């Protein structure tokens, strides 16, 4: 379970997170939505310990990572898969090496690693591209390789930062289905950051809205369209209109 309690983070006196409270229960997928620059990526980076908050707690399975020592933090980090916004593949490594990288600490044989890389590439619809380099891939392909890398070592928690942004609608749907099937098959707990309302409605048990440094509302997908929060209703309506235009 992930508990985020009164989280604050500023950059050069510019407050970004101003008291975020959020709990993510085991086995659920929570989507975080919110406008550009509201602090969604900053929040994910705090959850995985890549950034330190100024104030507040982040408790992962009972351990507060904001005060944990390096070794404890590292052990907690091993429970996470992280799909970075913008993929962040290692450019000097092949697709194979990129995905195998996270598998190295799993005590698998070389043959098992090879099998697993192949399996996860097939999950994201990219069979047989093991020997290619990131510079040879399209943006959408990079995203899918990064996704395979984030999930291939069966983490307990997966953080997805805009997994479908920049993909064509069909590939976006494939990725969305993959996120859902991983949750069902492996019982992973996921946080998805996205602007894609259609994907959010499909994958999440709850959708949280980050605005002005706080989670202003959290709703189940089927209740969202009837929310009493006027600001939110406007956000949802405009997201639906934009999506209709795009598709």
Ligand X SMILES: Nc1ncnc2c1ncn2[C@@H]1O[C@H](COP(=O)(O)OP(=O)(O)OP(=O)(O)O)[C@@H](O)[C@H]1O
Residues in contact with ligand X by CB under 6 A are: 11, 16, 34, 36-42, 85
Residue 87 touching Mg ion (CB under 5 A): no
Specify the residue, 16 or 99, whose C-beta has the smaller distance to ligand X: 16
The minimum distance between CB 16 and ligand X, in angstroms, equals 4
Site string (14-53) toward Mg ion, x via CB under 5 A: --------------------------xx------------
Residue 164 touching Mg ion (CB under 5 A): no
The minimum distance between CB 241 and ligand X, in angstroms, equals 19
The minimum distance between CB 203 and ligand X, in angstroms, equals 18
Specify the residue, 40 or 198, whose C-beta has the smaller distance to Mg ion: 40
What is the C-alpha separation between 134 and 164, in angstroms, rounded?
A: 18
Specify the residue, 2 or 117, whose C-beta has the smaller distance to ligand X: 2
Specify the residue, 183 or 194, whose C-beta has the smaller distance to Mg ion: 194
Specify the residue, 41 or 176, whose C-beta has the smaller distance to ligand X: 41
For Mg ion, how many residues bind (rule: CB under 5 A)?
A: 3
The minimum distance between CB 35 and Mg ion, in angstroms, equals 10
- Contact residues: Mg ion, CB under 5 A: 40-41, 85
């Amino acid at each position: 379970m992930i508990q985020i309690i009164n989280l604050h983070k500023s950059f050069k006196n510019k407050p970004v997170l101003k008291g975020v409270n959020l709990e993510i229960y085991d086995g659920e997928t929570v989507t975080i939505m919110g406008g550009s620059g509201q602090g969604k990526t900053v929040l994910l980076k705090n959850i995985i310990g890549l950034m330190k908050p100024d104030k507040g707690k982040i408790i992962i399975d009972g351990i507060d990572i904001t005060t944990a020592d390096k070794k404890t933090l590292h052990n907690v980090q091993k429970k996470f898969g992280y799909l970075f916004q913008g993929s962040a593949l290692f450019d000097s490594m092949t697709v194979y090496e990129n995905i195998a990288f996270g598998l190295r600490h799993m005590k698998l044989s070389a043959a098992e690693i090879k099998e697993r890389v192949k399996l996860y590439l097939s999950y994201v619809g990219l069979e047989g591209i093991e020997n290619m380099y990131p510079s040879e891939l399209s943006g959408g392909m990079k995203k899918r390789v990064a996704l395979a890398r984030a999930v291939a070592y069966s983490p307990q928690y997966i953080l997805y930062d805009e997994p479908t942004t920049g993909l064509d609608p069909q590939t976006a749907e494939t990725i969305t289905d993959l996120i859902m099937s991983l949750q069902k098959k492996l019982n992973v707990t996921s946080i998805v950051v996205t602007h894609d309302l259609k994907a959010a409605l499909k994958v999440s048990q709850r959708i949280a809205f980050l605005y002005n440094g706080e989670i202003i509302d959290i709703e189940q997908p089927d209740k969202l369209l009837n929310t009493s929060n006027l600001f939110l209703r406007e956000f949802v309506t405009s997201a639906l209109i934009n999506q209709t235009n795009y598709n």
